[in-house]
């Protein structure tokens, strides 16, 4: 065996040291407390129970579970790469959130050059973190920790800038993050994977197999994501009935995709057997597919049907598109993120546009202009004054028609996919720098490269006994 790539011992600490000095300096220079966290704003009229903490913290905690436990377990499905799957996710996520607070703060949340930190900033940073972790899924096991950190370092500002352009300027509707989490993350990740293409892995890798206990752990990760996904989709919706609908729709969508995933898994397998890859991934497609319309009055039945549709495209993608992308387009998609996040994300965006086109005052009442801020009359419009009688405190909008808004949504999808793909490819080329200690082909999917491993690592099946042919887990290795 060749020695491991030299220098993780120096390079990882060096990168972290520089990063931490920069983070401390930036936080010291630019970050202070927001008014709900600052003792000076606690006047004698302040009621402690009204602190924004109590409205935002439950969603924050739930999404923390999704990111650290959900993704962490889900990515630990390789038999010999359980440490890497779980703890590089931990490392990357911890770095991404602290960095996203700064990047999103710079682009979106600063006032007077100062970022006012509250739990709500952490929730927004968690959305960026979810995007980074999804992107990492495309190159799981083929990248070292330093590469993952640099990936996060580069993806976060691109994402934050895109969010700023799309949310603040195009003013699109994307409560569940279909465009700015799922689509962005997917095409960024595929771009990275394209740049990191390894022809040597194209015929399967002997270590890229799932393990029995590892698959069960991975399914637990799916369950963590499944259970708390309603909190994710509702976190950034408007408080009140909008969040209530978001919870209902997400739950229904996930229910629909779960049943469909089991059924399609058996139907598409020649022996009628269920594949754990499908259980681990396609069951979640409903959460993605309802994302863009999650706070709209689309009806419970439509949310359920969306979940089924999202699952169907996801399953078909796993069976037919992923192998095609690997063979023909040099895009190796280790976790199949294109199916779960890309294809289901496109379904979601289409549904969101339909939801916008069908929104009317009859269905929504006057709160139409809150849920769809773009439809509210602009400042100065006399209609705004009328509406404010019905909806006190209504913010002025853009006075766009539904059709106009639909065009903006389409434009945003196209722009986000383009920016993400280009950004991903460029990032991927940066990740090829030899200083970033990419694992050599034969030590991909192998914890021994980066970790001290206990003696029972690899005891279960001598590796020589495992041939890719006899391995159902092959499907994890989508080539």
Question: Between residue 283 and residue 342, which ones bind its own copies under the rule CB under 8 A?
Answer: 283, 297, 299-301, 304-305, 308
Which CA distances in Å does 263 have to 198, 272, 277, 308, 315?
A: 34, 9, 13, 11, 10
Single out the residue of 421, 395, 183 nearest to residue 292, CA to CA: 183
Residue nearer to its own copies on the CB measure, 380 or 392: 392
Please give the Cα distance from 262 to 270 (Å, whole number): 14
Partner residues linked to 110 by β-bridges: 115
Stretch that binds its own copies, among 113-121, 347-355, 405-413, 426-434 (CB under 8 A): 113-121
Task: Assess contact for 366 and 391: CB atoms under 8 A.
Answer: yes
Among 112, 199, 380, 455, contact with its own copies (rule: CB under 8 A): 455
CB 272 to its own copies: min, Å: 3
- Stated as kind and residue range, the H or E segment containing 33 is strand 31-33
Kindly identify the residues of this chain, within the stretch 187-216, that bind its own copies according to CB under 8 A. 209-216
147 binds its own copies (CB under 8 A): no
Tell me which stretch binds its own copies (CB under 8 A): 72-80, 168-176, 343-351, 396-404: 72-80
Cβ–Cβ contacts within 10 Å for residue 357, how many? 14
Q: Kindly determine how many residues on this chain lie close enough to bind its own copies according to the rule CB under 8 A.
A: 153
Q: Determine if residue 112 is left, alpha or beta; phi over 0 gives left, psi from -120 to 50 gives alpha, anything else beta.
A: left
1 makes contact with its own copies (CB under 8 A): no
Given candidates 136, 138, 156, 279, which one binds its own copies under the rule CB under 8 A?
Answer: 279
Segment 34-63, which members bind its own copies (CB under 8 A)? 36-44, 46, 48-49, 51-53, 55, 57-58, 60-62
Q: Does 453 interact with its own copies (rule: CB under 8 A)?
A: yes
Residue 29 CB neighbour total at 10 angstroms: 10
Q: Quote the CA–CA distance of 327 and 205 in Å, as a whole number.
A: 15
The sheet that has 31-33: what strands, in order across it?
Answer: 31-33, 114-117, 110-111
Pick from 179, 219, 228: which is nearest to 63 by CA?
Answer: 228
Stretch that binds its own copies, among 12-20, 162-170, 192-200, 416-424 (CB under 8 A): 12-20
Q: Is 354 a binder of its own copies (CB under 8 A)?
A: no
On whether the CB atoms of residues 164 and 315 are closer than 8 A, the answer is no
Residue 465's nearest CA partner among 107, 169, 132, 209 is 209
Stretch that binds its own copies, among 162-170, 313-321, 323-331, 384-392 (CB under 8 A): 384-392
Contact 71, 133 (CB under 8 A): yes
d(CA 156, CA 177): 15
| Cβ-count burial 319-338 (b if 16+ within 10 Å, e if not) | bebbeebbeeeebbbbbbbb
405 touches its own copies by CB under 8 A: no
Task: By CB under 8 A, tell whether 133 contacts its own copies.
Answer: no
Contact residue for its own copies among 244, 327, 383, 403 (CB under 8 A): 244
User: Interface with its own copies includes 251 (CB under 8 A)?
Assistant: yes
Judged by CB under 8 A, which of 168, 358, 365, 411 binds its own copies?
A: 365
**Which of 112, 113, 199, 272 is close enough to bind its own copies by CB under 8 A?**
272
Give min distance, CB of 151 to its own copies, in A: 15
Identify whether the C-beta of residue 179 lies closer than 8 Å to the C-beta of residue 345.
yes
Find the binder of its own copies among 112, 328, 459, 464 (CB under 8 A): 459
Which of 8, 422 has the CB closer to its own copies?
Answer: 8
**Distance in angstroms (rounded) separating the CA atoms of residues 376 and 399:** 5
Instruction: Kindly state whether residue 457 participates in binding its own copies, applying the rule CB under 8 A.
Output: yes
User: Of 25 and 433, which has the nearer Cβ to its own copies?
Assistant: 25
Instruction: Rule CB under 8 A: say whether 153 interacts with its own copies.
Output: no
358 binds its own copies (CB under 8 A): no
In whole angstroms, how close is the CB of 79 to its own copies at the nearest point?
Answer: 6
Q: How far is the CB of 194 from its own copies (least distance, A)?
A: 28
Kindly report the number of other CB atoms within 10 A of residue 105's CB atom.
23
Is residue 264 a contact residue for its own copies (CB under 8 A)? yes
- CB of residue 222 to its own copies, shortest distance in Å: 8
């Amino acid at each position: 065996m060749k020695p491991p790539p030299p220098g993780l011992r120096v390079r990882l600490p060096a990168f972290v040291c520089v990063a931490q000095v920069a983070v401390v300096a930036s936080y010291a220079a630019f970050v202070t407390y927001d008014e709900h966290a600052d003792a000076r704003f606690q006047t004698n009229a302040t009621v402690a129970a009204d602190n924004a903490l109590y409205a935002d913290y439950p969603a924050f905690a739930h999404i923390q579970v999704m990111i650290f436990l959900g993704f962490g377990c889900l990515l630990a499905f390789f038999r010999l790469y359980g440490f890497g799957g779980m703890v590089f996710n931990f490392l990357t996520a911890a770095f991404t959130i602290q960095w996203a607070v700064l990047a999103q703060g710079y682009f979106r949340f600063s006032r007077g050059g100062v970022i006012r930190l509250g739990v709500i900033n952490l929730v927004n940073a968690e959305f960026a973190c979810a995007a980074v972790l999804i992107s990492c899924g495309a190159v799981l096991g083929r990248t070292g920790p330093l590469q993952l950190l640099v990936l996060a370092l580069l993806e976060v500002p691109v994402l934050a800038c895109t969010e700023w352009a799309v949310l603040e300027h195009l003013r699109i509707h994307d409560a569940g993050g279909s465009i700015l989490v799922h689509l962005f993350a997917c095409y960024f990740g595929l771009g990275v994977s394209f740049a990191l293409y390894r022809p040597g892995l194209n015929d399967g890798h002997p270590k890229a197999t799932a393990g029995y206990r590892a698959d069960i752990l991975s399914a637990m990760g799916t369950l963590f994501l499944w259970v708390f996904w309603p909190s994710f989709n509702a976190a950034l919706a408007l408080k009140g009935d909008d969040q209530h609908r978001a919870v209902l729709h997400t739950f229904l969508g996930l229910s629909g995709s779960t049943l469909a995933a089991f059924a399609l898994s058996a139907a598409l397998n020649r022996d009628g057997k269920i594949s754990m890859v499908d259980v681990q991934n396609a069951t979640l497609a409903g959460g993605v597919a309802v994302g863009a319309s999650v706070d709209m009055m689309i009806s419970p039945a439509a949310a359920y049907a969306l979940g089924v549709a999202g699952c169907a495209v996801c399953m078909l993608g796993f069976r037919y598109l992923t192998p095609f992308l690997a063979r023909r387009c040099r895009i190796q998609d280790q976790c199949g993120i294109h199916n779960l996040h890309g294809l289901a994300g496109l379904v979601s965006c289409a549904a969101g546009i339909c939801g916008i086109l069908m929104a009317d005052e009859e269905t929504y009442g006057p709160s139409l202009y809150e849920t769809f801020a773009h439809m509210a009359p602009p400042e100065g419009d006399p209609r705004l004054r009328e509406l404010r009688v019905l909806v006190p405190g209504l913010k002025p909008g853009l006075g766009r028609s539904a059709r106009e808004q639909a065009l903006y949504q389409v434009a945003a999808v196209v722009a986000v996919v383009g920016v993400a793909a280009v950004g991903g490819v460029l990032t991927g080329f940066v990740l090829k720098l030899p200083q970033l200690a990419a694992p050599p082909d034969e030590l991909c999917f192998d914890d021994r490269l980066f970790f001290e491993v206990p003696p029972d690592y690899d005891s279960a099946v001598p590796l020589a006994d495992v041939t890719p042919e006899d391995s159902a887990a092959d499907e994890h290795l989508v080539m």
